[in-house]
């Protein structure tokens, strides 16, 4: 089931490459149409100094059709320029685009879970996800 997007924003910027910026919230699913020449910047509020961080856990169906990577801290336009303080929140950021050599033909979920890496995964961990639809 897709959740509403009242607190989630999609912002489109026109630069050399068409870039969309998406801020994800816990326990929501956002549907995004992504074209071959577009890049999606997915941002999720996080607090890594406490050990918790968002971990990409699942790509469904055509795994190879999307190219994704986590961007370094400070890559977000909303990131602070000061070093992280213990307990201070930040934004984790991923770049996602369609692989031009193997373009997607079907919708695909990309799912993250919020957890500490040294603890076993649990169904109680918060999640967020994107349903990507090739445009």
Outline where DSSP puts E strands in the chain. Answer: 10-14, 18-23, 29-34, 38-46, 52-59, 66-71, 90-98, 108-116, 127-134
- What is the pTM for the complete model shown? 0.75
Closest CA relative to residue 24, chosen from 134, 116, 118, 126:
126
The span from the CA of 3 to the CA of 9, in Å, is: 13
CATH number for the segment(s) 10-134: 2.60.40.2020
What is the separation of C-alpha 99 from the centre of its chain, rounded to a whole number of angstroms?
17
**pLDDT of 50-107, one tens digit each?**
889 999 886 665 566 788 888 886 555 444 455 667 777 889 999 998 888 888 788 8
């Amino acid at each position: 089931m897709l959740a509403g997007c009242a607190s989630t924003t999609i912002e489109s910027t026109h630069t050399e490459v068409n870039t969309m910026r998406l801020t994800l919230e816990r326990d929501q699913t956002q549907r995004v149409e992504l074209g071959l020449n577009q890049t999606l910047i997915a941002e999720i509020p996080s607090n890594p100094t406490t050990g918790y961080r968002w971990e990409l856990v699942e790509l469904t169906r055509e795994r190879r059709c999307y190219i994704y990577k986590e961007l370094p801290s400070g890559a977000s336009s909303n990131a602070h320029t000061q070093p992280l303080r213990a307990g201070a929140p930040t934004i984790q950021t991923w770049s996602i685009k369609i692989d031009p050599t193997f373009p997607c033909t079907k919708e695909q979920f990309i799912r993250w879970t919020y957890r500490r890496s040294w603890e076993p995964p649990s169904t109680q961990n918060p999640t967020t996800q994107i349903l990507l639809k090739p445009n």
